[in-house]
Each structure stands twice: as C-alpha cells, then as structure tokens.
Amino acid sequence: MTTATVQPTTKLWSGGKSPFNVSYGKLMMWYFLMSDAFTFGAFLISYGTIRFSQNAWADPNYVFNAFPLAGHANLPLAFVSLMTFILILSSVTMVLAVHEGHKMNRKGVEKWLFWTILGGLAFLGCQAWEWTHLIMGEKEVLVNGVIEKWGTTVTHNPWGPEVLHNGQAIATPGPIAFGGYFFGITGFHGFHVFSGVVINIIMLIQNRMKIFEKRGHYEMIEKAGLYWHFVDLVWVFVFLCFYLV
C-alpha cells in the first residue's frame, strides 16, 4: 500500500495584509516618489554631462554672492545657505507634525503643520528674490568688442571667462545652457515645494475640521510628510550640483 505525501500549501498573499507591511496609500506614495526621483535624476545627470563637457562654467562663488539688504557685500553662497537651512528646518517641523499625529494630538499636528507651511513659503520667497536678482541684475559683458549689460536668463549668460579690455578685466558670454538648466531645475523643484505647501494647507484645513480624528488615524499627514521630506532631499542634490560644484 502506497501513501501519498501531501505538501502543505502556503499562501504568500491572500489579499489581506500587504506583503510590504504598509498601507496601499503609503505604497503608492513611495511609487510616485521613486518615479519623481528618476525625473530629477535624469535632469541632474543631463546637467552634469553638459557642465563637465564645457571648458568654462559659471563660478557659483561669484554668481550667488548677493544677500538681501546687504548692498554690494560679497557673501558667497550665504543666501542659498539660508534657504537650505529654512527648508531643512521645515522638514524637522514636518517630522514633529507626524509624531503628534501618531499620538492623536490634533492641536500638536496643527501647530507643526503651520510652521512647516510657513517654512515652505519662506523658501519660495527666497527663491523668488534670487531669481529676480539674477534676471534683473546687470553685469557688464564684452560682446563682439562692445560692452553690454546682461542679466542672467535662459538666453543670456554673463558669467563667462574674463578677458582684458582697455586694461580692465571684463566677462565674456558663457555657455547658454547655464541659465536654462538653472532656472529649469530649480524652478521644477520650486514647483514641488509649492505643491507641498498646497498639500499641507489642505491637510491643515482637514485637521481643523477633525477629519483625521474621526477616521481614528493621521496617515494622510504621514503621506504628506513623505512628499515633503522627498522635496527636502532633492534640494540637497540641487544645492550640490549648482551651488557647490
């Protein structure tokens, strides 16, 4: 008489708990952030390819040396460092908002979300000033033997190599790609910051309406926090590529 061996069946996922041990909403947010990271990565790789294929490029110590209300003081990277500090600080307040959500503390979530929104708006204000200063600023450039005054735009780059003209050093036009990449990538990031501010405002309104309290959890705050931390992390790479290299 033969006996048949019955192999135990193991259900890997029967449609109940996710194998990733995360909710559907958070999983989709991670998928979105991963795809967005690929987009930023493609932009920055493209920028790096053009940047290092040129013999000369704009020196960030001279391009980004202005500071509001400081006149003509030479303060290399001081203002963008302040911008970076504001954005990182807003990431800390977002962490605190998520933490208060885990404790089901509606007032605490409201307080820290407000500061996160304020930090995002401050960053956008700083970026608006920086763009305005670069576009409206006038820098003398030697073009075909004639001195012209240029601002930094997608079609004009006054930060090229310097030459002697009438015994004085004066800049010549630099690679046109600088303005396009700078305004394109920082603008794309700024749009993400603006979107994050809008999302956080919506979360703040819903929190005041006690929607999350009625649901019994603050997962939406956590998902908004994931997006905000991603925006902060991307800025680190943008800062590295444009302001330090």
CATH number where 69 lies: 1.20.120.80
* Residue 132: predicted pLDDT: 95
Measured CA angle at 89 (ends 84, 90), to 5 deg: 100
Q: How many domains does the chain have?
A: 1
Paired tokens of 71:
């006149």
Closest CA to 78 of 91, 65, 90: 65
User: Which residues on adjacent β-strands are paired with residue 169?
Assistant: 164
Handedness of CA 223, 226, 229, 230 (dihedral sign): negative
Q: Which residues contact 20 (CB under 8 A, 6 or more apart)?
A: 27
> What was the pLDDT predicted at 22?
75
pLDDT of the chain, 245 residues: tens digit per residue = 455 555 555 554 455 565 567 788 888 899 999 999 999 999 999 999 999 999 889 999 999 999 998 877 889 999 999 999 999 999 999 999 999 999 999 999 999 999 999 999 999 999 999 999 999 988 999 998 889 999 999 999 999 988 888 878 899 999 999 999 999 999 999 999 999 999 999 999 999 999 999 998 899 999 999 999 999 999 999 999 999 98
Residue 29 lies in a domain: no
- Domain membership of residue 63 (yes or no) is yes
pLDDT of residue 32: 94
Name residue 137's amino acid: G
- Report the largest interatomic distance among the alpha carbons of the chain, rounded to a whole angstrom: 109
Is residue 63 a contact partner of residue 77, using CB atoms and an 8 Å limit? no
Within a domain: 85:
yes
Task: Tell me the residue range of the domain where 107 lies.
Answer: 58-137+177-244
In a domain, 122, yes or no: yes
Asked, for residue 18, whether it belongs to a domain, the answer is: no
Residues 6 or more apart whose CB falls under 8 angstroms from that of 99 comprise: 108
pTM: 0.88
Residue pair 122/128 in contact (Cβ under 8 Å)? The answer is no
The DSSP secondary-structure symbol of 241 reads I
Q: For residue 27, what pLDDT is reported?
A: 86
Give the Cα separation of 51 and 240 in Å (integer): 13
Buried b (16+ CB within 10 A) or exposed e, 130-146: bbebbeeeebebbeeee
With the C-alpha atoms ordered 93, 97, 98, 100, is the resulting torsion angle positive or negative?
positive
Q: Residues 168, 187: contact at Cβ < 8 Å?
A: no
- 5 lies in some domain: no
Q: Residue 230 domain-assigned?
A: yes
On whether residue 28 sits in a domain, the answer given is no
